[in-house]
Structure 1
Amino acid sequence: MNPSAGSKKRKRAVVVHQNEFEEHVDTSKPTAVFAPTKGRKHTVSVAIPGSVIANALTHDQKTAVAGQIGRALAVSCVDEVVIFNDGQNHKYKGGQDHRNQGTVNEDDHTGWTDPDHFLYHLLSYLEVPPFLRRTLFPFHPNLRTAGALPSLDMPHHLRANEWCPYREGITLDNRDFTEDHYDGGKGAAPQTKRTKKSTEFGLALPDDSPNYTLIDAGVPQKIKVPVSIPPNTRITLKLSSTLESSRITSTENIGSTAEPVHPATPREEAGYYWGYTVRRSNDLSSVFTECPHDGGYDLSIGTSERGQRLSHVLHGCGNESSQKGTSENDGGIERLPANWNHLLVVFGGPSGVEAAVSADKELMAAGVKEAKDVFDAWVNICPGQGSRTIRTEEAIWVGLTSLREFVIQRDET
């Protein structure tokens, strides 16, 4: 038998198998498209100290760290991110550059002077749908290289030809689309100009009432809603369920089938993940006291290498008996409750969550002895780590991935 002949037959068989596979599986497009199932009232929040940015050495490194964090938040469907001051930023201001050429002088952005703001700014920018960024975020040195960051590509970052019952948009100045605009507001312009401008966007503008607003929602035509909203305001729209996906790119006026809604409506009504909100807090205690939800966060998790193993506190979280508390069978380990409304996960900076607790005057005045006493659970998200340290941007990925199944179980209840 000729060995080379057998080898050729095997190669041909592999080629045939690959061809059959390629005919049935299209790997050129992503298949993990977010598919909502039902409305979701509960939320997931993450708190991160700005010192994670202060610890980076250059503008590009700071931007890259923000990009990694933004990707982790998007992939894990985080609803809120809180940037808090852990009292450690002063340790990194005016740090040394990677060439050891002396003190870095980057006064053109806030990465050194106010790292909390820098992280807040970058994460806010990344969350906004791309077509809105130019209007909502004027050029700023903080965003100098933000355009090179990986896209978050969240469900509300819709393309012009994609259909969704909800859309993000920005309000326009009605004067740009009325007769007064063409005559400097001093009188009526020729009718031809008004007709040309209105028909360009498929709109029939009312002559007898100014109580309407035009919205750019990333589709070819402008959307008109029967309420007056100031220009350059970001707005969430709900489109009528009777509107066919094929009509979204037509020149037909769909203003009558759209209405402004609360930004949480896509999540609460239909279960869409609709991006995250960003807020700042002066310290760790303010993360809790300034919570936007009635009743605050009913489940808080602090992360530390000195905490309990996350797998221990999550054990049996889907069982009916899995309520917060301890039992003899658990060996005294406190389990996380299966039913919660607002989850908060706190990550530490280079000095850990413990440093944030020690620097918090409110917590110290309240007599807090140990950092773990601030939280419902004090966990180690990566026991037995091989590296001496885990960077915060890495800890966020590891922690949120480890908690993902716990969150999904809550989604399904």
Structure 2
Amino acid sequence: MASEQKKKFNEKHELRRRIFKATKAEKTNWRKVKADLSKSKEYKLLKEKEQLEKDSEQKNDVVDKSRPYSLSIAVPGQFLNNAQSSELRAYMVGQVARAATLFCVEEIVIYDESCRMTQEAIDSYWNGSWRGNTETSDSNYESCFHLAKILEYLECPQYLRKALFPIHKALRYAGLLNPLDAQHHLKSDDRSFFFREGIVLKKPVKQGRGPICDIGLEKEFQIESEIPLPPGTRVTVEIKNMDEDAKRYRGSLSSAAKVRQKTGQYWGYSVRIVTSLQETIDRSKYLTVAGVSPRGIPIGQFDVCVLNKPKILLVFGGISGVDAAVESEELAEWKRAEDAFDVLLATTASNGSRSERVEENVLAVLAQVQCRLEQLSM
């Protein structure tokens, strides 16, 4: 104890001696000298803290702040055929997107209820050759692609939409829809969060450096490590150097899963298109697959173990319900909804309407399921 006090006294005495010497020799303000010494000490402490955080990450000692479960939903694109106009079709998609964002859905699977879709058609959608010129009807699967395109557009941050989404017929009325205002839809003056969405720019970079990205700020962003990414690629990045004097911000490549793990923030949903309901029910990907049907059990009785972060998929049917979607799968092993799903969940406790709209069911079921899962997580 005495040695520590002596050490502190010597440090304090040395600081006073340096201040007096600088004041006497250089005629400078002693307050300025003391401030400079304090800054250097703070800088040293900051570097030590950064090193400790880096060592902690290397030891995989990062606390997982994400939810103890993940939710995904599956909807058939054919439910949009119930809309009387293109405006109403876009509005219905907006309702599904809002519900998915409100209740932190991580993936939206779109399946073809008619079982006519082919893998070649899905490839044409993802490579950009699908233009949406064919009118939607019950005799085709065009509504699946319309649903996917609007969902993707709404999930994308506003500052990236012009670069990622050229003018498209399916997006004609997307600008009229309510914004999702999701956690990753950050403003251009918001620097409070160190994760952002960006797009790779077509700019030359030095050897050993990563690609340059637009992340919606006044300065561009450059990935520190050399990663081959083609221009136009959407990326999630973590800003590690936001020096205002630097030419660009710098950081590393990240992902939505890492953002959820490190911060607990919801980071949008992904969109996947499959050819049929049978392809949707992937037992290797989801721990529990639940169908939504009026014949199901109340959601208050839904039981699932949340100890190992289960992935849960909620499957919604079209206008005729999930039972009709199951029966349309001629090549499937199962013929009844009870055989296709792990459990059937009832949509609502009581219905004041004779009809149930898909976009309303998505909102109602997600609200009840999340409440139930939060109870099980306590």
**Counterpart position of 2:297:** 308
Post-superposition Cα deviations, 1:369-406, rounded to whole Å, max 9, x if no partner, equal 42122112111121320100110000001000111223
Aligned equivalent of 1:346, options 315, 330, 347: 315
Post-superposition Cα deviations, 1:222-273, rounded to whole Å, max 9, x if no partner, equal 0112324211110010122x75xxx6xx4634533x1012332111332221
Q: Is the 2:286–2:313 Cα contact (8 Å) retained in structure 1? A: yes
Q: Is the 1:41–1:268 Cα contact (8 Å) retained in structure 2? A: no
Q: 1:220 to 1:303 in 2, by over 3 A?
A: same
The alignment covers a number of residue pairs equal to 296
Letter of the 1:239 partner, please give it.
Answer: I
Say if 2:305 is the partner of 1:337.
yes
Instruction: Report the secondary structure of 2:331's partner residue.
Output: helix
Q: Give the share of equivalent positions with the same residue, in percent.
A: 30
Q: Is the 1:221–1:252 Cα contact (8 Å) retained in structure 2? A: no
Task: Give the unaligned 5+ runs of structure 1.
Answer: 1-35, 91-105, 176-204, 315-334
Aligned equivalent of 2:277, options 271, 279, 284: 284
**C-alpha displacement of 1:110:** 5.4
Which consecutive aligned stretches of 4+ in structure 1 deviate over 6 angstroms post-superposition?
none
**C-alpha displacement of 1:156:** 0.5
Letter of the 2:354 partner, please give it.
Answer: R
Instruction: Report the secondary structure of 2:259's partner residue.
Output: helix
Normalised by the size of structure 2, how large is the TM-score? Answer: 0.72
**Counterpart position of 1:190:** none
Say if 2:237 is the partner of 1:237.
yes
- 2:336, 2:230 → 1: CA distance? 48
Q: Is the 2:294–2:345 Cα contact (8 Å) retained in structure 1? A: yes
Letter of the 2:371 partner, please give it.
Answer: E
Correspondence list, 1:20-59, <5 A: 38-40=65-67, 42-59=69-86
**Counterpart position of 1:123:** 151
Q: 1:166 to 1:135 in 2, by over 3 A?
A: same
**Counterpart position of 1:185:** none
Correspondence list, 1:13-412, <5 A: 38-40=65-67, 42-87=69-114, 108=133, 111-112=136-137, 114-162=142-190, 163-175=192-204, 206=206, 209=207, 211-226=209-224, 227=226, 228-240=228-240, 250=244, 252-256=246-250, 258-289=251-282, 295-311=284-300, 313-314=301-302, 335-339=303-307, 340-363=309-332, 366=333, 368-409=334-375
- 2:287, 2:84 → 1: CA distance? 37
Larger radius of gyration: 2
Q: 1:69 to 1:110 in 2, by over 3 A?
A: farther
Post-superposition Cα deviations, 1:317-361, rounded to whole Å, max 9, x if no partner, equal xxxxxxxxxxxxxxxxxx443445101001111010011111113
Post-superposition Cα deviations, 1:184-225, rounded to whole Å, max 9, x if no partner, equal xxxxxxxxxxxxxxxxxxxxx75xx37431110000000112
Q: Is the 2:219–2:249 Cα contact (8 Å) retained in structure 1? A: no
Instruction: Report the secondary structure of 1:384's partner residue.
Output: coil
- 1:408, 1:165 → 2: CA distance? 28
- 1:39, 1:76 → 2: CA distance? 14
Instruction: Report the secondary structure of 1:361's partner residue.
Output: coil
Q: Is the 1:43–1:343 Cα contact (8 Å) retained in structure 2? A: yes
Give the root-mean-square deviation of aligned CA atoms. Answer: 2.6
The structure richer in helix per residue is 2
